[in-house]
Structure 1
Amino acid sequence: MTGQPLGALLVVMAVAVAAPIVSRLLPGRPPQVLFLILGGVLIGPAVAGVADPAQVGLISGLGLGFLFLLAGYELDPRLLVQKAGRQALWAWAISAVAAAAIVGGLAAVGFVTAFVPVAIGLTTTALGTLLPILREQGMLAGAFGRFVFAAGAVGEIMPILAISLFLGAHDSWWEALIIASIAAFAFVIAWLVKLLSHTRVAAIVGENRHATSQLTLRITVVLLIGLLLITQQFGVEAALGAFFAGMVLRRTAHASEELDDKLDAVGYGVFIPVFFVSSGMALDVRSIAENPARLLVFLALLLVVRGVPAMVVYRRTLVVRERVQLMFLTATALPLLVALAEIGRSSGAMLPENAAALVGAGVLSVAVFPLVATRLGRPAAASGGGRRPGGPATGVSRLRRARAGRRPVRGAAGSHREH
């Protein structure tokens, strides 16, 4: 049965169902992402062999797309020009310089052959992966949530741009023109939506947002898949299209206050768990077992290159405990590491054992770093000035703030909403 895609999907979804249950039963409530990945390893080719990642590749790809779409949807672009955004950019710049220097040294001694993919990989932060974990732990509240959001957003946007510019299918100047064109196209869509907001078409969409047609959700999926397809056709990292799709939705989300719940239901309920399970299934356990030192080296480099700059940049902004938490959170990486490892493997530039170790380090960072950060305790309420998440201090969308009066905002202290 599991030799067929439908059978493989059944097993994957069974893991997705079991992961949050196991997470709740264990002391300390480890993040369910950990069990999604471990479950994928167990059912994948490396252990039981009852499912193959290729059998759920399309759904897994949409899951990755939803991760970046939700990150773009929740990001307030104005946050990037505020203090939190400026500090996040400084921290990422330090990471980029450190990555170039360290990876250059590793290349000189023959440890690394794919300089650019590895260097970019060490500067990434998995904001989309962190969001459900931080919401469960109530760590998106107040000022600390603002700094986490800004650091995570920069740690996704800048590496995506670097991948598209330096590892794309065309020259860097042409890639830059393509990226600018896709961004312009995305915002033209947002402008058209606003232009049509008072027409009969908008009224029909509004009338059917709760009906069986679920038009707003269907439009969202069409937008996501369309921008993913456009970016892939032009040789640009597909995650960029998903991020732009989320930003477009954010600019038009006032038309449907229920859209965020629907996105959560579809994204976190179906597609995103499949991506995490598939990541575990695709993990080359044999190569990692043969070269465990490489995995540990890359894991340490993620913490040093991406995490340690937070200890310096935020020294006058956050207390020591919050800086340590931010260090571990910004060093958490996975989705872009998977993409970079695939780019390195397909081009022949990256050693197979390094590709496996890089992805393995990403998986281990998702499993360990957020767990360490959450165990250090939630940020003090004083650091947020008593603000609720979604208030002026955070990067969470106004749509979520508008709904705060009807139910607890996701990420609020004490909220344990599962995804």
Structure 2
Amino acid sequence: MPNAGESIFWISLCAVLAPLLSGIVFRHRVPEVVLLLVLGVCIGPNVLDLAVTGQGVDMLRELGLGMLFLLAGYEIEPAELVGRGGRRALLTWAACLGVALGLVWLVGLSDHVHAEVAVAIALTSTALGTLLPILKDSGVLPTPFGRTLMHHGAYGELGPIVAMAVLLSTRGPATSLVVLALFAVIAVLVHRFGAVLSREESRVLAVVRRGAESSSQTEVRLVVLLLVTLGVAAAAFQLDGVLGAFTAGFVLRMLVPEGHESLEHKLQGLAFGLLIPVFFITSGMAIDPAAVAAEPVALASFVLLIVLVRGGGVRIAARASGFDRRESTAMGMFAATGLPIIVAVTSVAVSEGQMTPLNASVLVAGGAITVLVCPLVGQRLLSGGGLGRHPDRVSPDGWSGS
């Protein structure tokens, strides 16, 4: 069995190979995250057995998962959650969850699906953190289309995270809601404490600013402390660490509402340079390709349900908001991209004994397919027909939409 050092070597090699293969071999047509998963499968115990998870690797994996959702939470503007577009996105997500629960329950009557609640939550997710680089590179993000998609993406991550805490807990929904409220109180207190320290007249703020560009890197250390603090608080309440990480990112955004370019650059270097690739590679190592190959119908059905439930729900909402058919379909395809939450949901379900590792492999593989296919289809739809026009709303760069 490989030791920790050998495993970290192979994981590090895969982390370097993924962007090289994406750029040189696939000309960026295949998302890097998919290659990270595939390379993880190759070096994992189910194929070449070159790397295994263990105490050291697991710690890096957890930090990678935390940084992924911290950055996702940081990208969400509070106004996106409470404004008109945010309320519409919340209702859309709730409708998607209701439809998913109903469909999975019906399929479960045939004894083909287990862990119905976990599967239903997975069907309603949107991988905002995965979509952000695609939207930024394509120039869509600052447009009305991009802003509306951000609304749906925000609740496509926040909704499933809260649903995981409430519906997958062994405490029961009512008790879980009370525990969730107590955790929210702690998050508010952490924010208030941070706000006091970040006042302009604060001596602490002056020290932090002086250390920002030195070897101290005080700002980055404070963000890591924030992540770990809320992660530990979530664990103390027996909540999933994903909730703590997402909340940490949201608290950070409220502390720096205008953004902080230097800090963001450093966090992205730490996250995407080391921790997040480790998370996706080790997630791939847990996939059993033989189990996935043995369940082609289940795999295809899961991908189809994601597109129908989440993609279809967002498409209907976008159409009602005034987007044309092509744009609405493109938005639905983007919203159906859902790998990170699927990995998190299946991990929780497996640890709670509600899902077998074999079924989790099929679901994660289905999530990887959505990352590979859905954004590509969405981009083709937008580039093929242009971004549609809507007379009531005009973006800063001159084209109009909803």
Scaled by the length of structure 1, the TM-score of the pair is 0.86
Shift of 1:349: 3.2
Judge which range, 359-368 or 25-34, deviates more: 25-34
Shift of 1:209: 0.7
Is the 8 Å Cα contact of residues 31 and 371 (structure 1) preserved in structure 2? no
Judge which range, 251-260 or 376-385, deviates more: 376-385
Structure 1 equivalent of residue 394 of structure 2: 385
Match of 2:272 among 268, 292, 297: 268
Is the 8 Å Cα contact of residues 169 and 236 (structure 1) preserved in structure 2? no
Is the 8 Å Cα contact of residues 227 and 242 (structure 1) preserved in structure 2? yes
Q: Tell me, in whole angstroms, the C-alpha distance in 1 between the residues paired with 2:135 and 2:8.
A: 27
Shift of 1:61: 1.4
Shift of 1:175: 1.9
Are residue 279 (structure 1) and residue 283 (structure 2) matched? yes
Structure 1 equivalent of residue 6 of structure 2: 7
Are residue 247 (structure 1) and residue 246 (structure 2) matched? no
Which deviations, in whole Å up to 9, do the C-alpha atoms of 1:134-175 show, x marking residues without a partner? 333333231111111111110111111111112124232332
Judge which range, 320-329 or 105-114, deviates more: 320-329
The unaligned stretches of length 5 or more in structure 2 are: none
Instruction: Go from structure 1 to structure 2 and tell me whether the alpha carbon gap of 1:203 and 1:99 turns closer, same or farther (over 3 Å shift).
Output: same
Q: Tell me, in whole angstroms, the C-alpha distance in 2 between the residues paired with 1:351 and 1:18.
A: 31
SS class of match (2:205)? helix
Shift of 1:133: 3.0
Q: For 1:119-130, what aligned pairs fall within 5 Å after superposition?
A: 119-130=120-131
Give the letter aligned to residue 219 of structure 2.
T
Shift of 1:28: 5.4
Shift of 1:306: 0.9
Q: Tell me, in whole angstroms, the C-alpha distance in 2 between the residues paired with 1:328 and 1:53.
A: 33
Match of 1:305 among 303, 309, 322: 309
Structure 1 equivalent of residue 138 of structure 2: 137
Instruction: Go from structure 1 to structure 2 and tell me whether the alpha carbon gap of 1:263 and 1:115 turns closer, same or farther (over 3 Å shift).
Output: same
Q: Tell me, in whole angstroms, the C-alpha distance in 1 between the residues paired with 2:179 and 2:232.
A: 14
Structure 2 equivalent of residue 315 of structure 1: 319
Match of 1:350 among 349, 355, 372: 355
Give the letter aligned to residue 380 of structure 1.
L
Give the letter aligned to residue 230 of structure 2.
L
Give the letter aligned to residue 313 of structure 2.
P
Give the letter aligned to residue 394 of structure 2.
G
Which deviations, in whole Å up to 9, do the C-alpha atoms of 1:176-230 show, x marking residues without a partner? 2222222222222222222222221111111111110100000100110111121
Judge which range, 135-144 or 359-368, deviates more: 135-144
Shift of 1:382: 5.7
Is the 8 Å Cα contact of residues 206 and 256 (structure 1) preserved in structure 2? no
Q: Tell me, in whole angstroms, the C-alpha distance in 2 between the residues paired with 1:371 and 1:103.
A: 27
Instruction: Go from structure 1 to structure 2 and tell me whether the alpha carbon gap of 1:142 and 1:72 turns closer, same or farther (over 3 Å shift).
Output: same
Give the letter aligned to residue 16 of structure 1.
A
Instruction: Go from structure 1 to structure 2 and tell me whether the alpha carbon gap of 1:92 and 1:37 turns closer, same or farther (over 3 Å shift).
Output: same
Structure 2 equivalent of residue 191 of structure 1: 192
Q: Tell me, in whole angstroms, the C-alpha distance in 2 between the residues paired with 1:381 and 1:211.
A: 47
SS class of match (1:314)? helix
Are residue 118 (structure 1) and residue 142 (structure 2) matched? no
Which deviations, in whole Å up to 9, do the C-alpha atoms of 1:49-94 show, x marking residues without a partner? 2112446221121111111111111111111222321221222122
Q: Tell me, in whole angstroms, the C-alpha distance in 1 between the residues paired with 2:220 and 2:126.
A: 28
Q: Tell me, in whole angstroms, the C-alpha distance in 1 between the residues paired with 2:380 and 2:52.
A: 34
Are residue 335 (structure 1) and residue 343 (structure 2) matched? no
Judge which range, 373-382 or 126-135, deviates more: 373-382
Shift of 1:256: 5.2
Structure 1 stretches (4+) deviating beyond 4 angstroms? 254-257, 381-384
Shift of 1:343: 3.2
SS class of match (1:87)? helix
Shift of 1:346: 3.6
Structure 2 equivalent of residue 220 of structure 1: 223
Which deviations, in whole Å up to 9, do the C-alpha atoms of 1:302-324 show, x marking residues without a partner? 11111111221111422222212
Instruction: Go from structure 1 to structure 2 and tell me whether the alpha carbon gap of 1:90 and 1:114 turns closer, same or farther (over 3 Å shift).
Output: same
Instruction: Go from structure 1 to structure 2 and tell me whether the alpha carbon gap of 1:130 and 1:6 turns closer, same or farther (over 3 Å shift).
Output: farther
Q: For 1:16-415, what aligned pairs fall within 5 Å after superposition?
A: 16-25=15-24, 26-27=26-27, 29-54=29-54, 56-196=57-197, 197=199, 198-253=201-256, 257-316=261-320, 317-378=322-383, 380=387, 385-387=394-396
SS class of match (2:124)? coil
Q: Tell me, in whole angstroms, the C-alpha distance in 1 between the residues paired with 2:94 and 2:168.
A: 19
Instruction: Go from structure 1 to structure 2 and tell me whether the alpha carbon gap of 1:382 and 1:141 turns closer, same or farther (over 3 Å shift).
Output: farther
Is the 8 Å Cα contact of residues 41 and 282 (structure 1) preserved in structure 2? yes
Scaled by the length of structure 2, the TM-score of the pair is 0.90
Instruction: Go from structure 1 to structure 2 and tell me whether the alpha carbon gap of 1:343 and 1:188 turns closer, same or farther (over 3 Å shift).
Output: closer
Query: Which structure would you say has the larger RCO, counting Cα contacts within 8 Å and 6 or more residues apart?
Result: 1
Aligned length, in residue pairs? 389
Q: Tell me, in whole angstroms, the C-alpha distance in 1 between the residues paired with 2:115 and 2:157.
A: 20
